[in-house]
Amino acid sequence: MFTPESIEAARRHVEAEVTGDLATTLATFETEPVFELYPVGLRMTGLDATRRYYRHFFDHVAPRFDGSRTASHGEWLGETGLVQEYAITYRYPDGQQKQFRVIGILKFGEHGLTGERIYADEALLRMMFAPVWDELEVIAPDANQDARTGASR
């Protein structure tokens, strides 16, 4: 369930991401943020990993987005989070460009955000989460399955 504080945190978070403000972005999260990445089914947990992710994102990924070719496809407020759908164009170092579609859900906590759920192409997720990629945990598709192997318990 959302609160006025969590909605305000989501709005501050969006603005801080757009302006590349690391301190404000991190301040919008509650204690141990959790990022869930789909369809790859991986999870990042904790403030340290979140800080490393955002430092890399602001320094190396966001500057390669072509702002003139970014399009918002909608924003929806739900009980558990703020959902945004958008398309971004990424400029590779060799000059090539590729457009990616993204659905991001800022997940509400009691006073701030508990994390994000991001649906995007694996190539984009790998670029964004590069410094923590090898630390990501597999999200088990079912509580009765082993998270790493998928075998039933």
Number of domains composing the chain = 1
Q: What is the mean pLDDT of residues 86-90?
A: 94
pTM: 0.87
Cα–Cα dist 104/120, whole Å: 9
Q: What is the mean pLDDT of residues 108-137?
A: 96
- Strand, coil or helix: 38: strand
Residue-range definition of the domain harbouring residue 114 = 4-138
Q: Does the structure show a pLDDT above 50 at 149? A: no
Is the residue at 145 inside a domain?
no
Q: Residue 140's pLDDT band (boundaries 50, 70, 90)? A: confident
Q: Does the structure show a pLDDT above 90 at 90? A: yes
Q: How large is the greatest C-alpha to C-alpha distance in the chain, in angstroms? A: 50
Cα–Cα dist 140/148, whole Å: 7
Is the residue at 153 inside a domain?
no
Q: Does the structure show a pLDDT above 90 at 110? A: no
Is the residue at 146 inside a domain?
no
Is the residue at 11 inside a domain?
yes
* pLDDT at residue number 69: 67
* pLDDT at residue number 143: 54
Question: How many C-beta atoms surround the C-beta of residue 102 within 10 A?
Answer: 17
Under a CB-based contact definition with an 8 Å cutoff, are residues 9 and 16 in contact?
A: no
Is the residue at 96 inside a domain?
yes
Q: What is the mean pLDDT of residues 84-105?
A: 95
Is the residue at 62 inside a domain?
yes
CATH number for the domain including 87? Answer: 3.10.450.50
